[in-house]
Amino acid sequence: MSKAIAYQIATHIDLKKSKGIFNGSLLFGDSDELFYKLDTDKFIYIFQYGMICCFNLSQKEIEAQFLLLKPICRNYILDKISEKLDVEVKKDVLEVGFNKVVLPKLDEVMLRLVMLNASQSVALNRYAELTENLLQETNTHTNYLERKGKLDISGHKLKRFIGKTLNIKNRISENLYIFDSPEITWEDEKLNRLNSELKKTFDLKDRYHYIHDRIEIIKENLELFKDIMDHSESSRLEWIIIILILVEVVDMFILKFI
């Protein structure tokens, strides 16, 4: 029985530079992903958003791929998130179960779908972790607001926080195509069925919605923080204007008496 193992190794992989790294044959490639056949039954799938998936490679061979890719990675991750899926071949059988898929043959297109969905699952794990951290940080500020009636974050930090949240939201939208089936599945019933069952097994759509809902909650909180900050700033400016007017009036009275 072979294994497909997906890893998040960075936030970005330079796919143009990676084309000169591998000796295997390129089976599929575009601006977002490259699918290589390294040997008769060994494959590697690379995604520009920092994911790789290896099929039928030993741990030593996988670590060798890490070393090859590390120089062309942005924000290389040492503590890698991974997902493993057993792949078995049985004639005339196509089944998808928990942590296991059975294919009728060692088909390159079917393997690509298996590795694609496993990689998307790991990416969702990574984004779930990031959004959970953002939500915890947001809750810290809302709890302070409840206790003290004011915010404990400066305008500059709030802007950076908003930027961080929007960047994560954009990366999810750009890199994850949970709802889009690859073109190869459009005219092949078996491939379409395999892709659909993999998405269900990995629970990709529900997990995506969960992450999206978290981001929306965070955005609502940040918009409220911004409104409170804008109101506070507006009140401060109003008081400054009032004080300046009072100073001007007092100054006029003093000049009049003199």
The confidence score (pLDDT) of residue 44 equals 94
- Residue 113 pLDDT more than 80? yes
Task: Look at the block and give the residue holding tokens 């949240």.
Answer: 165
53: CB partners within 8 A, 6+ apart: 4, 5, 6, 7, 44, 45, 115, 116, 118, 119
For the stretch 132-186, pLDDT in tens is 998 998 898 888 888 888 777 777 788 888 888 888 888 877 777 666 677 777 7
For the stretch 210-252, pLDDT in tens is 888 988 898 888 888 887 776 566 556 666 677 766 667 666 7
For the stretch 9-62, pLDDT in tens is 998 999 888 877 877 888 988 888 899 998 888 999 999 989 999 999 999 999
Q: What is the pTM of this model?
A: 0.81
The confidence score (pLDDT) of residue 171 equals 80
Q: What is the layout of strands, in order, in the sheet containing 25-29?
A: 25-29, 33-39, 42-47, 51-55, 2-8, 81-89, 100-103, 95-97
The confidence score (pLDDT) of residue 46 equals 93
- Residue 97 pLDDT more than 90? no
- Token reading at 14: 């330079």
Distance between CA atoms of residues 204 and 208, nearest Å: 6
Domain spans of the chain?
Answer: 120-257
Residue 54's DSSP bridge partners are 5, 44
